[in-house]
Structure 1
Amino acid sequence: MTKPSITSGVPDELQRRLGVGDAVVIGLGSMIGAGIFAAMAPAAHAAGSGLLLGLALAAVVAYCNATSSARLAARYPASGGTYVYGRERLGAFWGYLAGWGFVVGKTASCAAMALTVGSYIWPGQAHAVAVAAVVALTVVNYVGVQKSAWLTRAIVTVVLAVLAAVVVAALTSGEADAERLDIGSDATFGGVLQAAGLLFFAFAGYARIATLGEEVRDPARTIPRAIPIALGITLVVYTVVAVAVLTVLDPRQLADATAPLSDAVRAAGADRLVPVVRVGAAVAALGSLLALILGVSRTTLAMARDRHLPHVLAAVHPRFKVPHRAELLVGVVVAVLAATADLRGAIGFSSFGVLAYYAIANASAWTLTPAEGRPVRIIPVVGLAGCLVLAFALPISSVISGAAVLAAGAAAYGLRRVFTARRGP
């Protein structure tokens, strides 16, 4: 079987429409929505007063992953992200395993974001609202990635405005007390590692930029610029919001909160902001869901091109220039999960799959030569080690289920190879 070119001559090529601003906004829409409204409470439960230490550790690993991914994306500007990088640098199996971990993990993450929308908009009908959100955003993605980028820009603007209001309300209230931060007083090393693994779920949005490699203009410059910009903005936002929340809620209160930012503005005496925060949370989750569906469908497209998934999914719509069959399949699967899944359980499972994905990205970046834009050697080393440590520091249920799914994917790959060899050319 002939492998498609990753730089030219690819059947059904996507159109390069996105600039640096569009790519940054798509990354922000994924990272900010997921992290602020979904991961803070479970991270506080794991680390207690070490929450900010966990955030810092997650940021270090994310920076290494972002740098490795940016260099690889500039070298291989095709849809698929680490699926492509692993295939080209380490071999077909590692590329496949990265793609499998990403598609499965991020499909679960899509369901988690959809359920977040439902729980904030209409708690009594969270699953029904989640399914409706998936259907609506699948349609948006279907009619063109440029429309998705514009919608994501609007969502990010709304979310940042809401977060700014929360920070101001918390820090200017009479209830704010810096002593509540008490960084690390009751934290354990294992708890900080687990919190970092859970918070990594929030930082992983920059992967959406790399998976759009075939749809950005001048990818060799655009992707390496967009990824660190999006990551840096997100880290600043996360840190400011976390500090503000911890000045009005102690770590135990934050760990027990089902809606941490709503509880924070209540504790600050700004009850009038609670409805605003609820709307902001729903909008943020919609932004994450939009970017996630976009990224998963592009990795599905890349794997279908190489026939690791049904080749029929490799089609690109002649008018809208999007992988429409892959997007429809992803939408259907996510809708089913959103109708049946548990919100909290999806976060750890998704983190395990994505950390495995980035471990392969860092291993791939290690093999780059200086002429190919290799990062400083310590970056992929720290990134690879950090991904493995954080993955196995997650809750044991997430480790077991994540490892089982990766093993199932590896077994499927092996069976396909055996079947192909027996069938012959």
Structure 2
Amino acid sequence: MARRHEEQAVELPRALGLLDAVGIGIGAIVGAGIFVVTGVAAGVAGPAFLLGLLLAGVAAAANALSSAQLAAAYPRAGGTYEYGYRVLSPALGFAAGWLFLASKITAAGTVALGLAGYLEALRPGLPPRAVAFGAVVVFTALNYFGIRRSSRANLVIVAISVGALLLFVIAGIPSFRMSNLRPFAPAGWGGVLRAAALLFFAYTGYARIATLGEEVREPQRTIPRAIEITIGGVLILYLAVALVATGTAGTDALARTAAPLEAAARSFRPGWVPTAVAAGGVAAMLGVILSQLLGLSRMAFAMARRGDLPRFLDAVHPRYGVPGRAALAVGGAAAVVAATGTLAGVAATASFTILLYYGIANLAALRMPREAKLFSDAVPVFGLAACTLLAFSLSPRIILTGLALLAVGFLVRWIVRGA
């Protein structure tokens, strides 16, 4: 017989302001998507992946607005996991939390492998598995030793990676050739949708802000502003980078490498630009790992606090004020993925599971009390439709894998609550 669990009054310190929240969001977004998945999407859709990038950005914007009003109304750690429980049902709330964990644990480990790929451009011969594993271990330690330290390191990483992308755009304009945009859509609209689903993975970082609801000062004001600034700025930057990459190298060249932006920059002048872009890629990957582990530990904390994961994970470290056990648990899982996984199919699996996660967020926004809503219902309706369309445009194998992971999650919950 499942025992009933009551939430414990365990609170996290509110240490983050608007700049910290935007930095965490941008650090989570600018990474695997633009530096690695760009090449995969280009191979799927040809130059029309630019439309997929725009479509994914519009869908992410709708999801961001839904997340903003939910986070403002329910400023607690856990994001859509909390919203699902409060306005939908325990089953959908748990599904959101587990989908988040499944997607981001796998993605964090795999992004670490992407980091090794960009390091290869700087220091050939480095062992990729060891580099990936070490990166996850280091950033797990940063999260364990305190969020203020983590957020400061993240702001430095964001500045380096965004600076490298701006350099890429400026240096690449003289090499731009319109002929590289033809034929524009060799795979038709099906290719555009698949590319959009893959590239949605590149926009998901703003969710970290919602999962930090208990640690942001003035959450009703700060969280919506941080999400809007993050998604708007990144959309413009992504479109500029993708257009320059396509116009200078062509989609065939982008699709052949795990480091497409570095490959495109090899024809740029001055000659140090490719090295700077590779360094920016390394910084961006580090930013993604840092931000994903930060959000993952808070999600595991929230789920353990409610009794959906083992109770020992909801402890807050007495000195550092962070959920230390949860940070170590998710970091360990991500390190295993980094040591054993591959980059190939994870972006699609992560995109499918996170699209389902945001589908639940949009559904929760529709069911919110009317007086708590900040935007028209058209926003979450569009977001829900976009998430569903993009998720189920992926291959049957990816869809079945994602649904199997969700089934495993419900089995884990049944075991924990029945223990």
Give the alignment's TM-score, normalised by structure 2. Answer: 0.95
Aligned CA-pair RMSD: 1.6
- Residues 1:376 and 1:183: Cα distance change in structure 2 (over 3 Å): farther
Match of 2:10 in 1: 12
Give the deviation of 1:119 after TM superposition: 2.1
Verify the 8 A CA contact 1:181 1:243 in the aligned structure 2. no
Match of 1:164 in 2: 166
Verify the 8 A CA contact 1:142 1:324 in the aligned structure 2. yes
Give the deviation of 1:415 after TM superposition: 5.8
Match of 1:69 in 2: 67
SS of 1:192's partner is helix
- Residues 1:134 and 1:240: Cα distance change in structure 2 (over 3 Å): same
Match of 1:44 in 2: 42
Match of 2:234 in 1: 234
Give the deviation of 1:2 after TM superposition: 5.3
Give the deviation of 1:269 after TM superposition: 5.3
Verify the 8 A CA contact 2:117 2:259 in the aligned structure 1. no
Letter in 2 for 1:147: R
- Residues 1:375 and 1:129: Cα distance change in structure 2 (over 3 Å): same
- Mapped partners of 2:168, 2:283: distance in 1: 15
Verify the 8 A CA contact 1:180 1:249 in the aligned structure 2. yes
Give the deviation of 1:416 after TM superposition: 5.7
Match of 1:383 in 2: 383
Letter in 2 for 1:312: F
Verify the 8 A CA contact 2:117 2:258 in the aligned structure 1. no
Match of 1:59 in 2: 57
- Alignment map for 1:29-40 (pairs within 5 Å): 29-40=27-38
Verify the 8 A CA contact 1:24 1:226 in the aligned structure 2. yes
Deviates more, 1:139-148 or 1:117-126: 117-126
- Alignment map for 1:267-346 (pairs within 5 Å): 267-268=267-268, 270-346=270-346
- Mapped partners of 1:408, 1:245: distance in 2: 40
- Mapped partners of 1:258, 1:103: distance in 2: 25
- Alignment map for 1:82-121 (pairs within 5 Å): 82-121=80-119
- Mapped partners of 1:124, 1:319: distance in 2: 36
- Mapped partners of 2:363, 2:357: distance in 1: 10
- Mapped partners of 2:183, 2:100: distance in 1: 33
Give the deviation of 1:49 after TM superposition: 1.9
Post-superposition Cα deviations, 1:128-154, rounded to whole Å, max 9, x if no partner, equal 011111111111111111111111110
| Structure 2 spans left out of the alignment, 5+ residues | none
Question: Which among 144, 150, 159 is matched to residue 148 of structure 1?
Answer: 150
- Mapped partners of 1:2, 1:126: distance in 2: 43
Verify the 8 A CA contact 1:65 1:380 in the aligned structure 2. yes
Post-superposition Cα deviations, 1:263-309, rounded to whole Å, max 9, x if no partner, equal 11113355432222222111110001000000011000000001110
SS of 2:388's partner is helix
SS of 2:216's partner is coil
Letter in 2 for 1:196: A
Post-superposition Cα deviations, 1:72-121, rounded to whole Å, max 9, x if no partner, equal 00111110000000010111110000000000110011011111122222
Letter in 2 for 1:257: T
Match of 2:365 in 1: 365
Verify the 8 A CA contact 2:5 2:307 in the aligned structure 1. no
- Mapped partners of 2:268, 2:156: distance in 1: 28
Post-superposition Cα deviations, 1:315-367, rounded to whole Å, max 9, x if no partner, equal 00111110000001111111111100001221111111111110000000001
Verify the 8 A CA contact 1:12 1:316 in the aligned structure 2. yes
Letter in 2 for 1:95: G
Verify the 8 A CA contact 1:48 1:255 in the aligned structure 2. no
Verify the 8 A CA contact 1:93 1:413 in the aligned structure 2. no
- Residues 1:150 and 1:309: Cα distance change in structure 2 (over 3 Å): same
Letter in 1 for 2:155: R
Match of 1:133 in 2: 135
Letter in 1 for 2:44: A
Verify the 8 A CA contact 1:49 1:187 in the aligned structure 2. no
> Structure 1 residue runs of 4+, over 6 Å off?
none
Letter in 2 for 1:165: L
Verify the 8 A CA contact 1:27 1:209 in the aligned structure 2. yes
Identity %: 43
- Residues 1:367 and 1:18: Cα distance change in structure 2 (over 3 Å): same
Letter in 2 for 1:28: I
Verify the 8 A CA contact 2:32 2:114 in the aligned structure 1. no
Verify the 8 A CA contact 2:36 2:258 in the aligned structure 1. no
Deviates more, 1:381-390 or 1:357-366: 381-390
- Mapped partners of 2:285, 2:227: distance in 1: 20
| Structure 1 spans left out of the alignment, 5+ residues | 5-9, 421-425
- Mapped partners of 1:168, 1:260: distance in 2: 17
Match of 1:219 in 2: 219
Verify the 8 A CA contact 2:316 2:324 in the aligned structure 1. yes
Give the alignment's TM-score, normalised by structure 1. Answer: 0.93
- Mapped partners of 2:416, 2:258: distance in 1: 44
SS of 1:343's partner is coil
- Mapped partners of 2:415, 2:339: distance in 1: 31
Give the deviation of 1:182 after TM superposition: 4.0
Match of 1:423 in 2: none
Give the deviation of 1:46 after TM superposition: 1.3
Letter in 2 for 1:159: S
- Residues 1:240 and 1:249: Cα distance change in structure 2 (over 3 Å): same
Verify the 8 A CA contact 1:156 1:284 in the aligned structure 2. yes
